[in-house]
Amino acid sequence: MARISDLLAGGRTYSFEFFPPKDEAERATLVRTLRDLEPLAPSFVSVTYRGGRESRQRTYDLVTGILRTTTITPMAHLVCVAHTRLELAEILLSLRQGGIENLMALGGDPPTDPAAGPGELLHAMELVELARAIGGFSIGVAAHPAGHPLSPDMASDRRWLAAKMALADFAVTQFFFEPGEYSGLVEDLAALDEHKPVLPGIMPVTSLRSVPRMAQMGAAVPAWMVERLEAADAAGGDEAVRKEGIELACELCRAVLDTGAPGLHFYTLNRSTATREIYSSLGLGPAPAPSAAAPGGAIGAAQ
């Protein structure tokens, strides 16, 4: 299996992010999405994790299923919250035993289960240190172009991020919509003598209904983008909005690549259409084709 740090050293990477399915309907959708995107030859895909034993198993099943049944390199997410140090070490060891060499180390959102404790490790940096102690991982961390929600100010945010990246191999950003947010982040890190790759996270906005949700997920859609989407809606309805959202995402991708970004990381929401259309528009892969019926396979199935 390829290590993401080696892939980044070799040139630009193009990657996709998925979340583990909760039921058979979601699993069928994800299997179809993976089969649709596999011909695009992504450099790697990442699989999210929300904490807790059930999510732990779903993430493990999906990343190991991708490793066994596809040609795609997977990366597992892991969060500190609601886990002891020993539990985290056990998870890391199980990932290595399952053949997983790529890890996204995250602090994680506060647990929603009142019975779940905050966890023994409080920061992603501590999880990176634990993964380094176990060994064998290429490690990524999260970066927030607009600053982490818990950071008191931008200066301290950048100092903590630079210290975290000094222990890791690369970073992937939260999604954003203004190219200047990405270039500003990279420049801030360079000023702190941190030059490791920072992959920009791309989230296409393909419906007006999703605009409020973007802010809840971490980045508000700027007013100028909303105006373009609303103009498309007035001209041609939902389909015109979707096409305008794809074009907006393509414009952002071109802009960050022009600034020297080491690749692109797409938040897919377990769907393939938008990503395939962006790939086609940017000249990164074949033109999108209609999705085939989901094959059988064992991707993401409990083992």
CATH number, domain 4-282, options 3.40.50.300, 3.30.420.10, 3.20.20.220, 2.60.120.20: 3.20.20.220
**What's this model's pTM, rounded to 2 decimal places?**
0.91
**Residue tagged active-site, from 17, 101, 194, 244:** 17
Per-residue pLDDT of the chain (303 residues; tens, 9 = 90+): 799 999 999 999 999 999 999 888 998 999 999 999 999 999 999 999 876 677 788 899 999 999 999 999 999 999 998 889 999 999 999 999 999 999 999 998 765 555 556 678 989 999 999 999 999 999 999 999 999 888 999 999 999 999 999 999 999 999 999 999 999 999 999 999 999 999 999 999 999 999 999 988 889 999 999 999 999 999 999 999 999 999 999 999 999 999 999 999 999 999 999 999 999 999 996 545 444 433 444 455 433
What's the pLDDT score for residue 153? 94
What's the pLDDT score for residue 119? 78
What's the pLDDT score for residue 296? 43
Q: What DSSP string describes the chain?
A: ---HHHHHHHS-EEEEEE---SSHHHHHHHHHHHHHHGGG--SEEEE---SSHHHHHHHHHHHHHHHHHSSPPEEEEEE-TT--HHHHHHHHHHHHHTT--EEEEE--PPPSSTTS---S--SHHHHHHHHHHH---EEEEEE-TT--TT-SSHHHHHHHHHHHHHHSSEEEEEE-S-HHHHHHHHHHHHHTT--S-EEEEE-----GGGHHHHHHHT-PPPHHHHHHHHHHHHHHHHHHHHHHHHHHHHHHHHHHHHTT-SEEEEE-TT--HHHHHHHHHHTSSPPP-PPPPPP---TT---
What's the pLDDT score for residue 52? 66
Does 230 participate in catalysis according to the annotation? Answer: no
